Amino acid sequence: MDQFVSMRNLKFMLYEVFQVEDLLPYPYFQEHNREIFDLTLETALKIGQDIMRPALREMDQNPPSFINGEVKVHPTVRTFMKECGEGGWIASNFTFDQGGQQLPQLMSTACQFIFAAANYSASVYPHLTSGAANLILSFGSEEQKTLYVPKMISGEWQGTMALTEPQAGSSLADIITVALPTDQEFYKMRGQKIFISAGDHDGVENIIHLMLAKIKGAPAGIKGISLFVVPKKRIEGQDQLVFNDLHTAGIYHKLGYRGAPITQLSLGENDDCRGYLVGEPHQGLPYMFQMMNEARINVGLGAAGIASAAYYSSLEYSRERLQGRKVNAKDPTIPQIPIIEHPDVKRMLLFQRAITEGSLSLLMQCSLYVDKTKTLEGEEKEPYHLLLDLLTPVAKTFPSEMGILSISQGLQCLGGYGYCDEFPLELFYRDARIHPIHEGTTGIQGIDLLGRKVRMKGGKAFTLFVKEVEQTIQETMPFPALAPYVRMLRESLESLKNITGHLITMAQEGKPEVSLADSTLYLELFGIIAVAWQWLRQGVCLQKALNNGLSEMETRFYQGKFYTLRFFFHYELPKIQGLLKRLGESDGLTVSMERAFFDD
Amino acid sequence: MDQFVSMRNLKFMLYEVFQVEDLLPYPYFQEHNREIFDLTLETALKIGQDIMRPALREMDQNPPSFINGEVKVHPTVRTFMKECGEGGWIASNFTFDQGGQQLPQLMSTACQFIFAAANYSASVYPHLTSGAANLILSFGSEEQKTLYVPKMISGEWQGTMALTEPQAGSSLADIITVALPTDQEFYKMRGQKIFISAGDHDGVENIIHLMLAKIKGAPAGIKGISLFVVPKKRIEGQDQLVFNDLHTAGIYHKLGYRGAPITQLSLGENDDCRGYLVGEPHQGLPYMFQMMNEARINVGLGAAGIASAAYYSSLEYSRERLQGRKVNAKDPTIPQIPIIEHPDVKRMLLFQRAITEGSLSLLMQCSLYVDKTKTLEGEEKEPYHLLLDLLTPVAKTFPSEMGILSISQGLQCLGGYGYCDEFPLELFYRDARIHPIHEGTTGIQGIDLLGRKVRMKGGKAFTLFVKEVEQTIQETMPFPALAPYVRMLRESLESLKNITGHLITMAQEGKPEVSLADSTLYLELFGIIAVAWQWLRQGVCLQKALNNGLSEMETRFYQGKFYTLRFFFHYELPKIQGLLKRLGESDGLTVSMERAFFDD
């Protein structure tokens, strides 16, 4: 079986860097222990190896079909959903009351990372179901909870998030799917939804859409959006499933991510599509943001997972492929060396490792914030909610954008073979390209970060983030080997504070469009610095370990980590120089560029 | 018909920037004139529109098949090769004596750019044939010229370059295909070749391989490599074609570039494969470098061409797609705006334009050097040969690496649609990924530039390059609008000189491996500065034009060019800051990283 994740690194993250065991004394997590965690990880790996990875190429080569209105998917989807239901994976981080396992988010994240690395397309089905069920649990009625959630967390029914419409992709204010009130407990739905992941398939018995729509007469824009449960088959009488006038109009033929169907839906063609309001009217967007934020973090995780799989594929190849000789030893009569001995190949491998493990670390940091909110009460939760809000666009985007480059370098290690389907790199390269697009494009994430998140509550979240980084810097004090990196991170953080202030001031001084014009670059800058912080955070732990007596094998692991940290600081962090230069200019070049100047 | 190139920009490049008409007074080019050039461009565009582009998606969806040892390709290949033969495209830059048209290389490059933008896979067949025929013309015997060249330039026979073997990809020193002398005029060939583009197909009557092999008993390494003509069917008697014991063992299933077959060849399974020595024994590699250098430039051109097609696809979509509103006008009751109005979309479009037109400019600069050598005599040619040698790895790599990012931004403009095969962006994204791999990977190009080219003849080529840039800087004097960019380029050039000196000194002081460890980054740095130079070169011409009275339409074109120039200097050139920082460190991080540290 090809390696797709490092269990050693996952345990380093969980037990050494994020110290998941520190959560155990809290009542919420008290049923757990290290043995359960280890077993959970092993089981996830086994599912990845036995069910998911063997279907990777097959699911790509036999994508969902759409015949006579039916979407057929690979049989592994049914097997995997059943396994996820029976094993408690869909509800792993729900409360015991909700049928869940109260697993720390750190652990759920580690397992989802394993699943995404094994087979990203397959990993999406249970995760979407989990998010949709969680949304009903958070805002739905008791009846809705009883009707839908048990079948969803058992893997029998699929959950989705149904937002996008033909005229409203990034602009949710413009959705026009309408919910007409009736004199009963349901609304009649009419409209179209597009790009709905797992929006229909035969791997489950029913599909439960968590859908945004506008109640007839609702206010214009986002203030008029409500949230509905719209099942493919509605429940009538005693568990009878009746077709709910919700038609699949088509599926998309995609570059990658081919194991999952992305569907177009048509609602109420026969005026008989029933939707059930979740929570209060016109509160749909704030509700949906719970699921959307989970989904955004999961996109980052998917990207990091695929990057991990690509890294290990290219590492294996680089160890085995003989080609060329050292610069100083060009005698053609001596044998060729494995390409892993060439500095440029090591550079490509270290780049992948720095991106993959740095991304995972940032995602785990977000997971830790989720767990903190579960151990704390009342106002104590707020800082962690704010940090999570702030970092969500970063944790979505850094792994997505850099993951593509990382996988591309993995492909490059294989030369011509990387371009051919004998190896999985070309598949990973195709799969990963979805991530800067779905659940809010990179451009949207940039505006979210610079236009909203760093300014919210008077910049409180940003201030908290700075404190978090400074806290890590404090922890490096006992380790002189980290001193150069502390200095680099401190300077970078100072630059980030300055440029953030500059951009916010510009917006306040009446130039909001110029201020936001390069928000994608600002997001890139923020991501590099956030991941440098994560590497330094790992640095503290690996220095601690190196100071203990270690076996040769363990020393190698920590030395490898330290080299990867150094790589990030020497090769990736310097990229902020160019970004800072540009962000400081604020000349509004792209604002003043006229549309007509593109004519030629 | 969808736009895939800008004829306006091509004419700007040819007639204003590179002033191809200045070549006309020279005897070599005296048969040509502006009308012929215009007609040539129009004809190339028509072929692109009528024959090539309509087959783009079909050739991708119906890639070459390999059944019963036969490679079948799309019928457009035959049509196009015939057209290229009859229209004189294969031999366009050959001399009249050779059956060519003595067209300036600048014109051939412009036409090849059009072909690559229309359909990259299709464009490869005639170009490879041209390179192979030119190699025979340069180094072959009169008999070889007579036997092979006419059928090749007529498009009846395909030419290839056959270098790679299973154990020798980037390391040509290790090829083992053997040529056994006989007592006749041929050698008996035995061995295997892999990754041979257009190495077999039914769109032509015969395949002529220009192949590297070692004569039995030859010296080890590259000093023992000879060049052979090895036809698929050899010519016996009066034009009789006889199978030459050259079997196709298979074809590769690739991520993209699917319109062209990449083959595995097996030679001499029945001890009856005849090869014909070209030129002197053991001189194969220097000979082959003529074709390889042409092929490298053509890879850059292919990348720039695909990037052009992607740019125009995304531009068209961005003009038409309505989504969202201005930052200052979020009232949801007003209509949505075309996404081209959003600064972040303009950024993505300007990025594409800056990369595409900047790459094309650098490639045309190289073409001008080729043309200069044809108008000059003896030692006067040398500087242009040196400049071409120096810039070849740059002109291959900058378009290839940046083209991928450019096309990816084009895909991003379309959001979810960019990921689906309703639009061609996903196809361009797949096609373009081959370019950093074939004809020498980016890693190999980096070592070629830093390890060989900048040092050759005591750094003479590098000095000439610096003079070329300084010459352009001189020409900007009358245009104060260019002053900020002159300053930026001058500083960048100074930095390039310093870092080059630093790296060469390190190699001379006994650290060659450390000196070369980041040669890929050095190549990236060089590429950015070279393309900034090209933008300033264009800047001089567009300022001249803007100083004249222009129509509104023309003013838009030049304003668009000027914005794109500014974009390159403000968004792309700053990237050298991070690269310079890293290149100056020279800590040998990737050299000292031990292979075992990758264990985890």
For residue A379, is it within any domain? no
DSSP tag of B267: E
The span from the CA of A398 to the CA of A363, in Å, is: 10
**Distant-in-sequence, close-in-space partners of B178: CB < 8 Å, separation ≥ 6:** B189, B190, B191, B213, B214, B215, B216
Q: Torsion angle, CA of A361/A362/A365/A370, rounded to 10 degrees?
A: -130
Spatial contact of A148 and A112, defined as CB atoms under 8 Å apart: no
Nearest of A485, A465, A469 to residue A533 by alpha carbon: A469
Q: What span, in angstroms and rounded, lies between the C-alpha atoms of A260 and A158?
A: 12
In the listed set A259, A283, A307, which residue is the last one of a domain according to the structure?
Answer: A283
- The residue of chain A nearest to residue B588, with distances taken between CA atoms, is A343
ipTM exceeding the 0.90 mark: yes
> Are B216 and B269 contained in the same domain?
yes
Would you state the pLDDT for residue B170? 87
Q: What is the DSSP string of B70-125?
A: EEE--HHHHHHHHHHHHTT-TTTTS-TTTT-----HHHHHHHHHHHHHH-HHHHHH
* Closest CA in chain B for residue A420: B254
What backbone phi and psi angles, to 5 degrees, belong to B176? Answer: -130, 0
Q: What pLDDT digit, counting tens, does each position of B274-313 carry? A: 999 999 999 999 999 999 999 999 999 999 999 999 999 9
Tokens linked to A321 = 């492929």
CB contact under 8 A, A220 and B591: no
Q: Are residues A147 and A177 in the same domain?
A: no
8 A C-beta contact, residue B476 and residue B486: yes
Are A420 and B566 within 8 A, CB to CB? Answer: no
Question: Is residue A515 a part of any domain in this protein?
Answer: yes
Instruction: Give phi and psi for A207, each to the nearest 5.
Output: -120, 130
Residue type, A283: Q
Inter-chain touch A419–B404, beta carbons under 8 Å:
no
d(CA A285, CA B255): 39
Q: What are phi and psi of B399, to 5 degrees?
A: -60, -35
Spatial distance between the Cα atoms of B173 and B274, rounded to a whole number of angstroms: 23
To probe the interface with B, which of A352, A434, A598, A599 has the most B CB atoms within 10 Å? A598
* B514: pLDDT strictly greater than 70: yes
**pLDDT by residue, tens only, chain A of 600 residues:** 699 999 999 999 999 999 999 999 999 999 999 999 999 999 999 999 999 999 999 999 999 999 999 999 999 999 999 999 999 999 999 999 999 999 999 999 999 999 999 999 999 999 999 999 999 999 999 999 999 999 999 999 999 999 999 999 889 999 999 999 999 999 999 999 999 999 999 999 999 999 999 999 999 999 999 999 999 999 998 889 999 999 999 999 999 999 999 999 999 999 999 999 999 999 999 999 999 999 999 999 999 999 999 999 999 999 999 999 999 888 999 999 999 999 999 999 999 999 999 999 999 999 999 999 999 999 999 999 999 999 999 999 999 999 999 999 999 999 999 999 999 999 999 999 999 999 999 999 999 999 999 999 999 999 999 999 999 999 999 999 999 999 999 999 999 999 999 999 999 999 999 999 999 999 999 999 999 999 999 999 999 999 988 899 999 999 999 999 999 999 999 999 999 999 999 999 999 999 999 998
Give, for A591, the enclosing helix (H) or strand (E). helix A589-592
Q: What does the pLDDT read at residue A1?
A: 64
Rounded to an integer, what distance in angstroms lies between the CA atom of residue A130 and that of residue A133?
Answer: 5
Query: Which residues of chain B are within 8 Å of residue A529 when distances are taken between CB atoms?
Result: none
Q: Identify whether A540 is part of a domain.
A: yes
Q: Stretch B429-446: mean pLDDT, rounded?
A: 98
CB A560 within 8 A of CB A551: no
Residue A400 within a domain: no
B chain contacts of residue A595, beta-carbon cutoff 8 Å: 319, 338, 340-341
Count how many residues are written for chain A. Answer: 600
Residue A220: closest C-alpha in chain B: B332
Q: Are both A174 and A111 inside the same structural domain? A: no
What is the pLDDT at residue A121? Answer: 98
d(CA B490, CA B492): 5
State the pTM of this model.
0.98
Cross-chain CB nearest to A324 (options B170, B517, B593): B170
Determine whether B156 is exposed, middle or buried from the number of CB atoms within 10 Å of its CB (0-12, 13-18, 19+): middle
Q: Is the domain of B52 the same as that of B102?
A: yes
Spatial distance between the Cα atoms of A468 and A341, rounded to a whole number of angstroms: 38
d(CA A402, CA A303): 9
> Mean pLDDT across the stretch B109-136?
98
CA gap B294, B128 in Å, rounded: 9
Using a CB-CB cut-off of 8 Å, the residues of chain A touching B441 are 412, 415
Our CA-based measurement puts residue B600 at a distance from the nearest CA of chain A, in whole angstroms, of 6
Residue B178: beta bridge partners?
B190, B214
pLDDT of residue B293: 94
The Cα–Cα gap between B286 and B291 comes to 10
Q: Give chain A's domain count.
A: 3
pLDDT exceeds 80 at position B449: yes
- Rounded distance between C-alpha atoms, residue A438 and residue A456, angstroms: 24
Active site residues of A: 439
Q: Determine the pLDDT at residue B417.
A: 97
Give whole-number Cα distances, A138 to A72, A94, A144, A210, B7, in Å: 31, 11, 11, 13, 58
A503 and A551 part of one domain: yes
Helix spans in A376-511 (H) = 382-413, 425-432, 442-447, 456-475, 483-508
The Cα of B589 is separated from the nearest Cα of chain A by a number of Å equal to 7
From the candidates B57, B255, B448, which should be mutated to test the interface with A, based on the most A CB atoms within 10 A?
B255
Alpha helices in B321-342 (DSSP H): none
Q: Out of A315, A323, A593, whose CB is closest to B171?
A: A323
Are residues B117 and B42 part of one domain? Answer: yes
* CB-CB under 8 Å, A590 with B346: yes
Q: Do A577 and B582 touch (CB under 8 A)?
A: no
Which of A107, A130, A153 marks a domain boundary? Answer: A153
CATH of the domain at B110: 1.10.540.10
Q: Could you write out the three-class secondary structure of A87-146?
A: CCCCCCCCCCCCCCCCCCHHHHHHHHHHHHHHCHHHHHHHHHHHHHHHHHHHHCCHHHHH
- Same-domain check for residues B144 and B176: no
For residue A411, the chain B residues in CB contact (below 8 A) are: 433
Spatial separation of the C-alpha atoms in residues B456 and B60, rounded to whole Å: 42
Q: Are residues B531 and B574 in the same domain?
A: yes
**Cβ–Cβ < 8 Å for A73, A261:** yes
In this structure, the answer to whether residues A136 and A164 fall within a common structural domain is no
8 A C-beta contact, residue A421 and residue A430: no
Q: What is the chain A residue with the closest CA to B587?
A: A570
Contact B598 A560 (CB under 8 A): yes
Kindly report the CATH number assigned to the domain that includes residue A222. 2.40.110.20
What are the residue ranges of helices labelled H in B335-455?
343-375, 382-413, 425-432, 442-447
Instruction: Specify whether A118 is located in the same domain as A181.
Output: no
Instruction: Kindly state whether residue B101 falls inside one of the protein's structural domains.
Output: yes
- Chain A, nearest residue to B569 by Cα: A582
Q: Are A378 and A283 in contact (CB under 8 A)?
A: no
Q: Which of B8, B340, B593 sits opposite A563 (nearest CB)?
A: B593
**Subunit contact B325:A171, Cβ cutoff 8 A:** yes
Task: Enter the tokens of residue B186.
Answer: 């041929």
Count residue pairs from A and B with Cβ separation < 8 A.
284
Picking from B165, B598, B599 by the largest number of A CB atoms within 10 A of its own CB, the best residue to mutate is B598
Cβ within 8 Å, pair B253-A599: no
Residue B552: which domain range? Answer: 450-585
- For residues B29-44, average pLDDT: 98
Contacts of residue B185, Cβ cutoff 8 Å, sequence gap at least 6:
B276
| In contact, B178 and B190? CB cutoff 8 Å | yes
User: In terms of DSSP bridges, do strands A206-215 and A157-162 run parallel, antiparallel, or are they unpaired?
Assistant: parallel
**Residue A338 DSSP code:** B
Q: Is the CB of B437 less than 8 angstroms away from the CB of A416?
A: yes
Q: Which of B326, B422, B556 comes nearest A513 by C-beta?
A: B326
- What does the pLDDT read at residue B446? 98
> Is B439 an annotated catalytic residue?
yes
How does strand B246-251 pair with strand B157-162?
Answer: unpaired
From chain B, pick out residues whose CB is under 8 angstroms from the CB of A542.
none
Neighboring chain A residues of B422 at a CB cutoff of 8 Å? 252-253
Of A129, A153, A177, which closes a domain?
A153
Chain A closest CA to B378's CA: distance in Å?
Answer: 35
- Measured between its terminal Cα atoms, the distance across chain B in Å is 54
Judging contacts by C-beta atoms under 8 Å, the chain A residues touching residue B589 are 563, 566-567, 570
Residue B520 belongs to some domain of the structure: yes
* Predicted pLDDT of residue B1: 64
Asked whether the beta carbons of A288 and A465 are under 8 A apart, the reply is no
Q: Say yes or no: A146 and A166 in one domain.
A: no
Q: What's the burial of B207, exposed, middle or buried (CB within 10 Å: 0-12/13-18/19+)?
A: buried
Same domain, B135 and B203: no
Our CA-based measurement puts residue B595 at a distance from the nearest CA of chain A, in whole angstroms, of 7
The 3-state DSSP composition of chain A as helix, strand, coil percent (nearest 5) reads 60, 10, 25
Distance of alpha carbon A175 from alpha carbon A263, whole angstroms:
17
Structure confidence at residue A330 (pLDDT): 82
A-chain residues near B411 (CB < 8 A): 433
A25 Cα to chain B: minimum distance (Å):
31
Instruction: Nearest by CB to A343, from B323, B574, B590: name it.
Output: B590
Residue B530 lies in a domain: yes
